[in-house]
Amino acid sequence: MSETLEVIEPATEAVLASFERAGAEEVDEAVARATEALPAWRAMTAGNRAALMRSLVQVMEDHHEELAQLEARNAGKPIASARGEIGMGIETFRYFSGAPEQPIGETIPADGGLALTVREPIGVVGLITPWNFPLTIACWKMAPALAAGNTVVLKPAELTPCTSVRFAELALEAGFPEGVVNVVVGPGSTVGRRLVEHPGVGKIAFTGSTEVGAEIAAGAAATIKRVTLELGGKSANIVFADADVGLAARSAPGGVFDNAGQDCCARSRILVERPVLDEFLSGLEAAVAQITVGDPLDESTTMGPLISAAHREQVASFLDDGETVAFSGTAPDGPGFWLAPTVLCPVDPGSRAATEEIFGPIASVIPFDGEEEAIRLANDTIYGLSGSVWTRDGARGLRVARAMESGNLSVNSNSSVRVTTPFGGFKRSGYGRELGPHALDAYTEVKTIYVRTEEE
Ligand code: NDP
């Protein structure tokens, strides 16, 4: 395939960059390069691999602003957010740069001898990433995969390949051997699919929609590939009447409108206990009025455009279902794929807005009565990625968080993603965990070696 891919800047609709679009053949070439690089990479001493990862951290830090500007323009995210996200990518490499030198197994008493376990790299790992946090999510996958001794072939979303391609250049600059980090820019339907089906790829780590995740799991089955999936969400933000309601209301926009709502963790269902509904809504309205939607490169911007015209249309369709708009913010006119942050209330829990992932700046407020109903509503979804509980009762906060069928919860906070803690979903939000100490499980095989010590 030798078509040209034009990458569009969502805030201006102008062409930001052009790439030669890869196809299945280029995937085969990348897998061949990654396979060739594998023996030396996995055999490298732990100290040398750790040192290379630290060198990459330094190079990324040197290019932090450049990467942030590129991400802000390509994905349409406010520059301040882009700086934070690239910073998290760097932190991810810093965190996993310690992994090569950590203990890698156990010794287990076994009849007549001793068994020991070691962790081995899987081999060539395929990484398929979405457009909403392009380089950050790629780093969540690459850092543990590389630390564990795998080589990688990364397929970024076609809408946002720029920082991933630049990253591959920086990895070489940091001293990574050729073939250890490979990036292939092309569509999911050909490049992604080939990576999933390729017999030389041992594992696929995917972040994206639940629909494509299901296709990937099915496609990987034929070669018994390992798969981890980080998929969609429809998370609940529960505000009890005994909470600091003002704080919950001020924080709510960050939980649902961050990245213009294009966030798998978006707490897009805000469940509010009926006695404090009016108080909460007036606090939320004031907070939404503070959101500045505009040019991602302007330092005062707090929300950018949506990623594409098609996505904007899909998100805006949720405003045509007849749900009551309680209030909304403002957004520029075109060019650019703008949509004002909008709060719907009261929303019927069975409606499309309350059940489907919107992945845009639309929040559904649903009133409830009592703890039991809050938990039932929160769990009434096929997803289970994130969520929050607001209450001044510490025991209730923990009790409700434990009752919620979701992988990442917070009490009196809308933040649930950290480099040092596991991240992943329950139910159709996926399986496997990224970040934190569990991430290495996703990129290694456990090998048991039994040594007989007693004589026959
Ligand atoms: P998609 O699932 O459409 O795409 C994700 C990636 O998969 C892209 O790189 C895409 O390629 C690729 N892809 C598409 N089809 C296939 C296929 N058949 N085989 C292999 N790869 C394929 O999601 P979006 O990028 O549109 O992101 C939005 C969705 O992702 C939302 O539903 C959101 O919830 C979810 N998401 C989940 C996250 C999480 O951590 N759980 C984080 C971010 C998003 P291309 O687009 O280039 O064709």
Q: What are phi and psi of 163, to 5 degrees?
A: -70, -30
3.20.19.10, 4.10.520.10, 3.30.70.1450, 3.40.309.10: CATH of 236-418: 3.40.309.10
Instruction: Say if residue 425's pLDDT is above 80.
Output: yes
Residue 1 has pLDDT above 70, yes or no: no
Contact 188 CB / ligand 1 (< 6 Å): yes
Q: What is the mean pLDDT of residues 273-289?
A: 98
**Mean pLDDT score, 398-407:** 98
Q: Whose CA is nearest to atom 4 of ligand 1?
A: 208
Half-sphere exposure of 195 (CA within 13 A, CB side): 34
∠ CA(39), CA(43), CA(44), 5° rounding? 120
Quote the CA–CA distance of 423 and 432 in Å, as a whole number.
8
Task: Provide the β-strand partners of residue 408.
Answer: 386
* Six token digits for residue 19: 């790439």
Ligand 1 contact via 279 beta carbon (within 6 Å): no
Ligand 1 and 128: CB distance under 6 A:
yes
Token pair recorded at residue 61: 């830090």
The per-residue pLDDT for 340 is: 98
Q: Is the pLDDT of residue 456 over 80?
A: no
Would the CB of 207 count as within 6 Å of ligand 1? Answer: yes
Cα(246) to ligand 1 centroid in Å equals 36
What backbone phi and psi angles, to 5 degrees, belong to 243? -80, 170
Choosing among 3.90.1170.50, 3.30.300.10, 1.10.10.10, 3.40.605.10, the CATH entry for 3-231+429-451 is 3.40.605.10
Cβ–Cβ under 8 Å, residues 191 and 162: no
User: Can you give the pLDDT at residue 299?
Assistant: 98
When pLDDT is averaged across residues 119-128 and rounded to a whole number, the result is 98
Q: What is the band of 236 on the pLDDT scale with cuts at 50, 70, 90?
A: very high
Pocket probe mutation, ligand 1, options 3, 128, 227, max atoms within 8 Å of Cβ:
128
Mean pLDDT of 227-250: 98
Give the residue whose CA is nearest to atom 25 of ligand 1.
130
Average pLDDT over the chain, rounded to an integer: 97
| Alpha carbon nearest to ligand 1 atom 46, residue | 157
| Per-residue pLDDT band at 436 (split at 50, 70, 90) | very high
For residue 419, report the distance from its CA to the centre of ligand 1, in Å: 22
Q: How far is the CA of 1 from the CAs of 20, 127, 144, 192, in angstroms?
A: 8, 21, 32, 14
pLDDT at 103: 84
pTM: 0.97
Active-site residue identified among 264, 265, 273, 434? 264
Contact 136, 86 (CB under 8 A): yes
Distance 174 CA to ligand 1 centre (A): 29
> If you average pLDDT over residues 227-238, what whole number do you get?
98
Rounded to an integer, the average pLDDT of 31-52 is 97
Enter the tokens of residue 346: 């009261």
- Establish whether residue 192 lines the binding site of ligand 1, counting it when its CB lies within 6 angstroms of any ligand atom: yes
Of 184, 224, 218, the closest CA to residue 203 belongs to 224
- Give bridge partners of residue 272 from the DSSP assignment: 239, 367
Contacts (Cβ under 8 Å, ≥6 apart) of 147? 49, 50, 53, 96, 97, 99, 100, 440, 443
Query: Which tokens hold the place of 333?
Result: 């006119």
Q: Does an H or E element contain 317, and which?
A: none
Distance of CA 17 to the CA centre of its chain: 24
- C-alpha–C-alpha distance, residues 49 and 182, integer Å: 17
CA of 282 to the centre of ligand 1 (A): 36
Compute, in angstroms, the gap from residue 130 CA to the centroid of ligand 1: 5
Read off the pLDDT band of 334 (50, 70, 90): confident
% of the chain with per-residue pLDDT over 70: 100
- pLDDT tens for each residue of 83-119: 999 999 999 999 999 999 998 899 999 999 999 999 9
Alpha helices in 2-63 (DSSP H): 24-43, 46-62
Q: Annotated catalytic, 264?
A: yes
DSSP 329: -
H/E/C letters for each residue in 187-215? CHHHHHHHHHHCCCCCEEEEECCHHHHHH
Lookup result for tokens 């489907």 = 356
The H-assigned helical ranges of 100-175 are 134-147, 162-173
Instruction: Report how far ligand 1's centroid is from the alpha carbon of 210 (Å).
Output: 8
Please report the atom of ligand 1 found closest to the CA of residue 231.
41
pLDDT tens per residue, range 167-211: 999 999 999 999 999 999 999 999 999 999 999 999 999 999 999
Please tell me if the CB atom of residue 432 comes closer than 6 angstroms to any atom of ligand 1. no
Predicted local confidence at residue 215, as pLDDT: 98
Q: Which helix (H) or strand (E) holds 223?
A: none
Output the pLDDT for position 2: 57
| Per-domain residue ranges of the chain | 3-231+429-451, 236-418
In the annotation, is 230 catalytic? Answer: yes
Per the residue annotation, which of 26, 71, 230, 371 is the catalytic one?
A: 230
Task: Check if 3-231+429-451 and 236-418 are the same fold.
Answer: no
Q: How confident is the model at residue 447 (pLDDT cuts 50, 70, 90)?
A: very high
Say what the pLDDT of residue 171 is. 98
pLDDT tens across 290-322, in order?
Answer: 999 999 999 999 999 999 999 999 999 999 999
CB count within 10 Å of CB 299 equals 8
What does the pLDDT read at residue 44?
Answer: 97
Does residue 186's CB lie within 6 angstroms of at least one atom of ligand 1? no
User: Which atom in ligand 1 lies closest to the alpha carbon of residue 195?
Assistant: 20
In the chain, % of residues over pLDDT 90: 98
Instruction: Report CA-CA distances (Å) from 140 to 97, 270, 348, 359.
Output: 12, 28, 36, 21
Does residue 259 contact residue 82 with C-beta atoms inside 8 Å?
no
pLDDT of 377 over the 90 cut: yes
How many A from CA of 230 to the centre of ligand 1?
A: 10
